[in-house]
Chains A and B, each alone.
Chain A
């Protein structure tokens, strides 16, 4: 999908797009200071994109991943890091949900939503990558 963008620009482009979407959300939200927040998050996105671009020029695993030129070991490294990230998200969501229930808070449902999404994501991963039945 992104093959028309040079590898080194792919991740920065995603960050810029995400930043633009988030800035636009502040515009849609409106309010007295929407333009300030939209500009602030736009600047943060551009700064992060430039940082990623700079990182991708380096001779390192992080640089190869940032520049979308990772080899098999670096892709495996990224997959493992994402797995750790997902596990952290699940554990944090479970702790948050447990605390919210215990204190009768009204903000329990975002934790449940994150827990549900990460759980479904895990099951989808199993379904997608499990061995297919042979003959």
Chain B
């Protein structure tokens, strides 16, 4: 499942650590989500979508089965 977290984060000029702090997760988790190695829980996915003012289905694309756990 592809996501737009990295794209949106860089657009806002945020570091991974800053995004992690805003979401209340670790920097490693942001890295894992951006690389598609970790699929966030539903609450975290909604938190990310809210943070970037984007619907969750725009932030996470279920049609692209690239990676994820």
CB within 8 Å of B: which residues of A? 59-61, 64, 70-74
Whether the pair B28, A60 counts as a contact (CB closer than 8 A) is: yes
- B27 to A73, Cβ gap below 8 A? no
| Residues of B near any A CB (own CB < 8 A) | 24-29, 32, 38, 40-41, 44
B28 x A74 contact (CB < 8 A): yes
- Most chain A Cβ neighbours within 10 Å, of B24, B26, B44: B26
What are the nearest 8 A-B pairs in CB distance? A71-B25, A73-B29, A73-B38, A71-B26, A71-B29, A72-B41, A61-B28, A64-B26
B interface majority secondary structure? loop
> Which of B24, B26, B40 is within 8 Å of A74, CB to CB?
B26
With a cutoff of 8 Å between Cβ atoms, the chain A residues found around residue B29 in the complex are: 71-74
In Å, the complex CA distance between A135 and B29 comes to 37
Q: In whole angstroms, how far apart are the Cα atoms of A126 and B9 in the complex?
A: 40
